[in-house]
Amino acid sequence: MRDKMIGSLKEALKVMGLADGMTLSFHHHLRNGDAVLNGTLDAAFSLGVSGLTVAASSIFPVHAPLVEHIRKGTVSRLEVNYMSGPVADFVSRGGIAEPVIFRTHGGRPRSIESGELPIDIAVVAAPSADGRGNLTGTKGPSACGSLGYAMADARCAKRVLAVTDNPVDRVAPASIDQSLVDAVVTVDSIGDPAGIVSGTTRMPRDPVALVMARYAAMAIKASGLLADGVSFQTGAGGASLAAASYLRDMMRDLGVVGSFGMGGITSHMVRFLREGLVKRLYDVQCFDLEAVKSIAEDERHVEVSASLYASPGTKGPLVDDLDVVILGATEIDLDFNVNVHTDSSGRIIGGSGGHSDTAAGAKLAVVVAPLVRSRLPIVVDRVTTVSTPGDTVDLLVTERGIAVNPRRPELREALDRAGLPVMSIRELREIALSITGVPRSSRPKGRTVGIVEYRDGSLIDRISEVS
């Protein structure tokens, strides 16, 4: 068997045939600890290459050096699912000529597998790799757990380059196997696994968040879905995690055993598995190190690809099997459209991720958000950016009350019977305005800097340059 080890990133990119205008893909399992994207672009710059497209599943603050690579012309286009930090600010201010394409976690593998997003070189950060090109994320000093977002890239790219800081004799079983990998490079470090954990994965102590979480759990119970076999996904935000904690208590009290939990997996979801409250976890990315440990040790904690997780181009994404999903929002409007891409001024602060995928698939999509954040109302007449269409959102849960989408009259009746504080979303809007006053409109009107695609590839909104 041919040994695929190559001495350096620069040499490997030359062997891969890197040239002007190519598309390089990256995945984000090391999140804000990733060093591979920066190292690869530094190597590309040293080779004098220009006009690259970076197709990264997510961009975090750690990727700030990408700004300079855009300014120098090494990179000219970005296609992402999520973006925050200095690169997002740079794009918001019009720092890149071509609009950034934003996809969902399911839309990205759909576009790769359909050929809509062709990849010349997939660069895979591999916490462990052998010389034949077998890769895993579950072992090594930089273990990140699942490699689910890299799988479509590895299957469909013209060339696949693995970058590891833990070369081993043999990886088995492999998340991505040798039949897909062209070359392997060993570097000093692929990143800092501590960066996997973000502030959004910590349980809140804020009493407002805890009230919202309790209402959300009570609403789910009232919906009738909290029964044996229930499947669910919680977001990584504080209120979502707290809602999961309340759900765990309810399931334990009712003797309910769920079929599966899914999505980005946290230590809080691992507790469901260890306490026998769900039969398995489907994991496309680990959000903290306890989840990394679990996926390495527990066969009921199953690694899945982003395609299986959420792609509408497959014959059966797991999101279609969800009963309940708990989601966040930066804004939600009177038609239940949700914004998770920008703040109210239009500045890019995130992206859909799996938001619209899970909302479309789940039987009950619950948005949990405070009525007021940073002295601004969360419920608005029209969201600054549409991330998830309102016809896929069923509930808005706030600390002051719960709004049910008029498309679900039977759900409203169930919540009324349970004695929950149900009101219209317009009433919630009026309460918020009584606290904040009517905010001055700051909707940006500059040129388009971002194109937001829905999960099927259709245009759902545009993001404008902020001043």
Residue 54 has pLDDT above 70, yes or no: yes
pLDDT of residue 467: 82
pLDDT of residue 203: 63
Q: What percent of the chain has pLDDT over 70?
A: 98
pLDDT of residue 442: 73
pLDDT of residue 35: 97
Residue 196 has pLDDT above 90, yes or no: no
> What are the strands of the beta sheet with 128-130, ordered from one edge?
135-136, 128-130, 167-168
The C-alpha atoms of residue 332 and residue 379 are separated, in whole angstroms, by 5
Residue 23 has pLDDT above 90, yes or no: yes
Tell me the pairing of strands 331-333 and 379-380.
Answer: parallel
Q: How confident is the model at residue 200 (pLDDT cuts 50, 70, 90)?
A: low
CB 332 within 8 A of CB 366: no
Smallest CA-to-CA distance from 386 within 441, 463, 461 is with 461
The C-alpha atoms of residue 152 and residue 305 are separated, in whole angstroms, by 7
pLDDT of residue 271: 93
The C-alpha atoms of residue 3 and residue 24 are separated, in whole angstroms, by 23
pLDDT of residue 443: 77
pLDDT of residue 201: 59
CB 280 within 8 A of CB 243: no
pLDDT of residue 264: 82
pLDDT in tens, 389-432: 999 999 999 999 999 999 999 999 999 999 999 999 999 999 99
pLDDT of residue 456: 98
Among the residue ranges 28-37, 103-112, 186-195, 348-357, the one predicted with the least confidence is 186-195
Average of per-residue pLDDT across 374-400:
95
Tell me the pairing of strands 372-373 and 376-377.
Answer: antiparallel
Residue 92 has pLDDT above 60, yes or no: yes
Average of per-residue pLDDT across 435-463:
92
Smallest CA-to-CA distance from 141 within 130, 127, 125, 126 is with 127
> What are the strands of the beta sheet with 402-404, ordered from one edge?
301-303, 278-286, 258-265, 231-234, 324-327, 364-368, 395-397, 402-404
Residue 112 has pLDDT above 60, yes or no: yes
Q: How confident is the model at residue 68 (pLDDT cuts 50, 70, 90)?
A: very high
Average of per-residue pLDDT across 330-351:
96
Average pLDDT in the chain: 94
Q: Name residue 159's amino acid.
A: R
Separation in Å, CA 57 to CA 52, 125, 148, 167, 244: 16, 13, 11, 25, 26
Residue 1 has pLDDT above 60, yes or no: no
Whole-structure pTM value: 0.95
Average of per-residue pLDDT across 286-315:
96
464 or 239, higher pLDDT = 464
pLDDT of residue 207: 85
pLDDT of residue 7: 92
pLDDT in tens, 24-48: 999 999 999 999 999 999 999 999 9
